[in-house]
Amino acid sequence: MGFEEGKFLEAAQEMDNIKLDGFEFFTESVKEFVQCKIYRKYEEVSGLFEYKIMGSLEDVVPELCKKVYMDSEYRKKWDEYVKELYEFDDEGVQSIYWNVNYPWPMSNRDYIYTRALRELEINNIPTIVVLAESNSLTKTPEKSGVVRVKEYHQSLIIQTDGNVGTKAFMHYFDNPGGSIPTWLINWAAKTGVPSFMNSMRSACLGYEKYTSSKKT
């Protein structure tokens, strides 16, 4: 498994030219230092929505965002929804295992996916592109009481905002399987995404302390 190189460029080009055919405006969150605007598109086959998110962290530089986003060990420290998260070799495919805490009485979900990062220049602007997709060929057995997410894809684009902050674009879809109440899906998109961005900002601001503590 792997990503075609053209996919990175295709994803990056939406940063300044977001494609919203079939998408509707869903919600917007504006807070000090953290903003995001979310669009969604209904998928007939799954009965679920895919999302496109424009966001910004006004006091965090892109390079720091990249480091924090890609650091699986650190995420276990600051993301309360992570039950398990680690990288492993899945029969020759470098993969990530991610077990997500769901609220009681629902079962946790887990993901096995591949991820790749490229650094490009778009209109002379340094651009970080991260692609992720569920590994449909995995032979890793499912865990009792945990629902395996088999449809998942995400692209994340990170650039400078022209000042001292970061602007980001994300295109996201997953099918969590099972029976999940509509209220929870709406909550996850409407409040969960802005909450994650705030947590991400806090994690970025605390990253130097975390890395320093690992050296002692």
| pLDDT tens-place string over residues 88-112 | 998 888 999 999 998 888 899 999 9
**What's the CA gap between 36 and 41, in Å, rounded?**
17
pLDDT score, position 181:
77
For range 111-128, the mean pLDDT: 95
> pLDDT digits over 36-93, tens only?
999 999 988 888 899 999 999 999 999 999 999 999 999 999 999 999 999 999 888 8
**What's the CA gap between 191 and 170, in Å, rounded?**
16
pLDDT score, position 1:
62
pLDDT score, position 12:
95
For range 19-45, the mean pLDDT: 94
For range 131-154, the mean pLDDT: 93
For range 205-216, the mean pLDDT: 89
State how far the alpha carbon of 163 is from the alpha carbons of 18, 127, 157, 203, in Å. Answer: 21, 15, 17, 20
Q: 156: pLDDT confidence band, cut at 50, 70 and 90?
A: very high
For range 150-176, the mean pLDDT: 94
**What's the CA gap between 193 and 128, in Å, rounded?**
20
**What's the CA gap between 209 and 192, in Å, rounded?**
26
Q: 137: pLDDT confidence band, cut at 50, 70 and 90?
A: confident
**What's the CA gap between 62 and 87, in Å, rounded?**
23
pLDDT score, position 215:
75
State the pTM of this model.
0.93
pLDDT score, position 47:
86
